[in-house]
Structure 1
Amino acid sequence: MLSRSILRSSFRALPRILPRPLPRTPFPRVFQQPTPLNTFRFASGRGPRPPRIKHIRYNPEEVERARPLISEEQIRNGFRHPGTTLIAVVLFSGGVYFYVSNLETVPVSGRRRFNCYSEERVKEEGKMMYRMIMQQDKDAILPAWDPRTRMVERVMTKLIPASGLEHVDWEVHVIQSDEANAFVIPGGKVFVYSGILPIAKNDDGLAAILGHEISHNLAQHAAENMSRYVLLEPVRWVFIFLDYAGYTGGIGRFIGDILMDLGMMRPASRRQESEADYIGLLMMAKSCYDPNEAVKVWERMEKFQRAAGNSIPQWLSTHPSDSTRIDAMTKWLPSAEEARSESECGVTLGYSKEFQAATGGPDIWSSLFR
Structure 2
Amino acid sequence: MNITFRVCFLACMLMFGSCATNPFTGKQTMALVSNDQLFPASFQQYDAFLKEHKVVKGTEDARRITRIGERIAKAAERYLNANGYVGYLKGYQWEYHLVDSEEKNAWCMPGGKIVFYTGILPIAGSDAGIAAIMGHEVAHALANHGQQRMSAAYIQQGIAIAGNVAITDDQSRDLFNQYYGIGSNVAGMLPFSRSHEAEADRIGIVLMAIAGYDPAVTPELWKRMESSNVPELLATHPSNASRISSLNALVPNARAEAKKFGVTSFTE
2:244 to 308, 326, 331: 326
**Aligned residues of 2:24 and 2:203 also touching (Cα < 8 A):** yes
User: What's the counterpart of residue 33 of structure 2?
Assistant: 117
After TM superposition, the structure 1 = structure 2 runs for residues 107-186 of structure 1, keeping only pairs within 5 Å, are 107-137=23-53, 140-143=54-57, 145-164=58-77, 165=89, 168-186=92-110
Deviation at 1:251, TM superposition (A): 4.0
After TM superposition, the structure 1 = structure 2 runs for residues 1-370 of structure 1, keeping only pairs within 5 Å, are 83-84=1-2, 94-137=10-53, 140-143=54-57, 145-164=58-77, 165=89, 168-241=92-165, 245-248=169-172, 250-301=174-225, 305-306=226-227, 310-346=228-264, 349=265
Deviation at 1:311, TM superposition (A): 2.8
Q: Over residues 33-53 of structure 1, what are the superposed CA-to-partner deviations in whole Å (9 max), with x where a residue is unaligned?
A: xxxxxxxxxxxxxxxxxxxxx
Deviation at 1:265, TM superposition (A): 0.7
Q: Over residues 156-191 of structure 1, what are the superposed CA-to-partner deviations in whole Å (9 max), with x where a residue is unaligned?
A: 121111112486322211111111100011232211
**Aligned residues of 2:11 and 2:158 also touching (Cα < 8 A):** no
Secondary structure (helix, strand or coil) at the match of 2:172 reads coil
Deviation at 1:151, TM superposition (A): 1.1
Identity of aligned residues (%): 28
**Change over 3 Å in CA distance of 1:89–1:176 after alignment to 2:** closer
The CA RMSD measured in Å over matched residues stands at: 2.3
In the alignment of these two chains, the number of paired residues is 255
Q: Structure 2 length normalisation: TM-score?
A: 0.86
Q: Distance in 1 between matches of 2:183 and 2:18?
A: 25
Deviation at 1:106, TM superposition (A): 1.1
Deviation at 1:249, TM superposition (A): 6.6
**Change over 3 Å in CA distance of 1:162–1:89 after alignment to 2:** same
Q: Distance in 2 between matches of 1:217 and 1:335?
A: 22
Secondary structure (helix, strand or coil) at the match of 1:168 reads coil
Secondary structure (helix, strand or coil) at the match of 1:135 reads helix
Secondary structure (helix, strand or coil) at the match of 2:42 reads helix
**Change over 3 Å in CA distance of 1:254–1:125 after alignment to 2:** farther
Q: Structure 1 length normalisation: TM-score?
A: 0.64
Secondary structure (helix, strand or coil) at the match of 2:103 reads coil
Deviation at 1:242, TM superposition (A): 6.4
Q: Distance in 1 between matches of 2:173 and 2:4?
A: 26
**Change over 3 Å in CA distance of 1:228–1:169 after alignment to 2:** same
Q: Over residues 99-126 of structure 1, what are the superposed CA-to-partner deviations in whole Å (9 max), with x where a residue is unaligned?
A: 3222333121233322122112111331
Q: Distance in 1 between matches of 2:34 and 2:137?
A: 20
